[in-house]
């Protein structure tokens, strides 16, 4: 599958049936399992290494494109496996070119979203391309401001379905790099592809813990996609047992907590999970995580007009996070069709930020990217159902 070039447009896919859709995806095999499977097929171990590199480092779209492998071997692989079960249903790029969003149909008809965000160097960080990926089809947690939460839960994604999203974004990023190189805007040594991955798409990553962790190991593999652990961020609404489990993984990944309110009364109005894991318990778990990992925690705080964006709430949040090694990302909400909340304006967001600063809590106001292409989580699926009748 070849995604369209990164220009402002909209595309939709027809209901073409892929003959390989019924085959198991080779992306669901861990590196050890892939090696064992190739040995069972009578191949040498180095063939498994070549195959792994072709799939993840070279992101070959088909077995036929893996020129380092013999033709009989490629034919045998194609009879037993598919590479990806993602079928592009829609692809949009924002007017400013910084954000692209893909809607993918899975083998069972479920729809998931993946976003590629492009950032120019700001003097502190170099140019980067961040893939925002999904871990579930839908979400069971029902956050009222989130389009995905309004759609309900259907199933967890497999390891292969998670990793395939990054591979698709990598192909897009590589093509963009090649175009820039041909135009003299980059040298070969500056080709970078996807530099960061954030588990902030559809679903709750920690509710699909095993597949999420297996996917991270594939992304982090030096002979594959080679995404550094410190460039991978996992976001959660606050599943305390899994947060503590993640602290024991000895990975240098980033943890982001979707907090969105400084107290139980306000948080429970928009995030039902707060009934199970109240704010105070969540923050205690965050202290344990930070103490054990020595890693800074990022708190995502979606600003909802006249709901959680007052200066008093900012000060309450400052007191709550005081003493915790953290950073707060303040994000004016992307309004949804069914959601009751309006967007906090920039001046109110800056006032909120000032309230946090009184308590020494570092923060950044992050204006959402891709509003014109429904880049908020779940919004493109919602739009596609309206357009395609999916």
Could you give the residue numbers annotated as active site? 113, 377
Q: How far apart are CA 132 and CA 148, in angstroms?
A: 14
Q: Which two tokens stand for residue 157?
A: 């994604």
- Check if the beta carbon of residue 3 is closer than 8 Å to that of residue 171: yes
- Check if the beta carbon of residue 314 is closer than 8 Å to that of residue 349: no
- Residue with token string 């925002």: 132
Q: CA quadruple 161, 166, 169, 171: dihedral positive or negative?
A: negative
Q: Which two tokens stand for residue 51?
A: 């195959």
- Residue with token string 């400013």: 96
Q: How far apart are CA 201 and CA 237, in angstroms?
A: 12
Q: How many CB atoms lie within 10 A of CB 258?
A: 21
Instruction: For the chain, report the end-to-end CA distance as a whole number of angstroms.
Output: 20
Q: Which residues pair with 82 in a beta bridge?
A: 25
Cα dihedral 251→254→255→260 (10° resolution): 180
Q: How far apart are CA 380 and CA 377, in angstroms?
A: 8
- Check if the beta carbon of residue 369 is closer than 8 Å to that of residue 132: no
Question: Measuring CA to CA, how many Å separate 121 from each of 124, 125, 129, 212?
Answer: 7, 5, 11, 29
Q: How far apart are CA 100 and CA 8, in angstroms?
A: 9
């Amino acid at each position: 599958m070849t995604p369209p070039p990164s220009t402002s447009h909209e595309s939709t896919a027809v209901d073409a049936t892929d003959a390989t859709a019924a085959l198991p995806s080779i992306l669901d095999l861990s590196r050890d399992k892939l090696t064992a499977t190739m040995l069972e097929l009578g191949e040498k171990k180095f063939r498994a290494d070549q195959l792994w590199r072709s799939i993840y480092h070279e992101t070959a779209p088909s077995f036929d494109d893996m020129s380092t492998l013999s033709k009989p071997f490629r034919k045998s692989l194609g009879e037993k496996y598919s590479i990806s079960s993602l079928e592009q249903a829609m692809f949009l790029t924002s007017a400013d070119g910084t954000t692209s969003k893909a809607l993918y149909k899975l083998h069972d008809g479920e729809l998931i979203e993946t976003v590629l965000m492009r950032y120019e160097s700001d003097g502190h960080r170099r140019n980067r391309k961040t893939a925002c990926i999904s871990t579930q089809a839908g979400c069971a947690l029902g956050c009222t401001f989130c389009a995905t939460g309004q759609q309900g839960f259907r199933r967890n994604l497999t390891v292969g379905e998670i990793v395939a999203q990054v591979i698709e974004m990598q192909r897009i990023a590589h093509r963009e790099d090649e175009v820039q190189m041909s135009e003299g805007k980059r040298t070969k040594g500056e080709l970078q592809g996807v530099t960061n991955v954030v588990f902030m798409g559809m679903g709750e990553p920690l509710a699909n813990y095993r597949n999420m962790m297996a996917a991270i190991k594939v992304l982090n593999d030096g002979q594959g996609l080679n995404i550094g652990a410190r460039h991978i961020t996992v976001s959660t609404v606050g599943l305390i047992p899994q947060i503590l489990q993640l602290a024991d993984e000895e990975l240098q990944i980033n943890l982001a907590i979707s907090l969105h309110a400084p107290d139980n009364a306000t948080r429970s109005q928009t995030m039902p999970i707060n009934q199970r894991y109240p704010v105070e318990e969540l923050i205690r778990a965050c202290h344990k995580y930070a103490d054990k990992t020595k890693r800074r925690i990022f708190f995502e705080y979606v600003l909802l007009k006249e709901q959680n964006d007052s200066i008093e709430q900012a000060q309450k949040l400052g007191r709550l996070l005081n003493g915790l090694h953290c950073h707060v990302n303040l994000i004016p909400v992307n309004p949804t069709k069914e959601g009751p909340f309006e967007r906090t304006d920039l001046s109110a967001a800056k006032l909120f930020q000032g309230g946090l600063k009184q308590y020494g809590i570092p923060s950044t106001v992050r204006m959402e990217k891709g509003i014109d292409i429904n880049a908020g989580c779940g919004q493109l699926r919602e739009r596609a159902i309206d357009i395609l009748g999916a």
